[in-house]
Every structure is written in structure tokens, then in C-alpha cells.
Amino acid sequence: MRWQLHFVSVKETSKLMVIDFSASWCGPCKLMEPPLTAMADKFSDVDELPDVAQEFGVQAMPTFVLLKKGKEVDRVVGAKKDELQKKIDFEYHASCYLNSQFVHFH
């Protein structure tokens, strides 16, 4: 329910939402924590919401789903921080919008 309310509130905006699906037992997820924290610090909002991986068909950890206007625009599977940063930069600059949002699912 919390996820749905959150999702509805941002899906009509052009704001880029980056969803991080990770797990405490996942080694590659732990490797991604420092760069994700650095990226999230640049942007306005960070939330932790559980139980959404199935909705997005997440089959591996970590998985990062990039959404705009409620639609998936890209996805990165694995601890690929450079690829994730490039995709965020591309979507961020493509929209010319200053706010992005990180949502963490553990």
C-alpha cells in the first residue's frame, strides 16, 4: 500500500526514479552501497520500501530500475556502478529536470 501511494504520487512527474532492489546477504549489493549513497546524496529523496521486487520481475540482486512517468525507461542488473551512473546521467540530462529519487528495496 505504501509503495502504491508513493508510486502514484510521482508517476505523473518527469522526475527520474531509481529503484534499488538489494538484499543484506548479497555481496554485489554491498559493493554498490557506497556509490549508491554518493549518488543518492546528490538527489532529493531516498526511501526504503519493501515487497515490490515481484511487481517489477526482479530475478537477481542487485537490480536497479529507472522509471519516468511510471514507466520503466531502463534497468541495470548486477553491481555495475559505472553503467548505472551513465544511465542515470543520460536520463537526468535527457529530462533536464533537477530532481531524481532513489527508492531502496531490501
Please give the positions annotated as active site.
Answer: 26, 29
8 A C-beta contact, residue 77 and residue 20: no
> Alpha-carbon distance 24 to 22, whole Å?
7
50-65 burial string, b = 16+ CB within 10 Å, else e? Answer: eebbeeeebeebbbbb
> Alpha-carbon distance 59 to 39, whole Å?
24
Whose cell is 531502496? That residue is 104
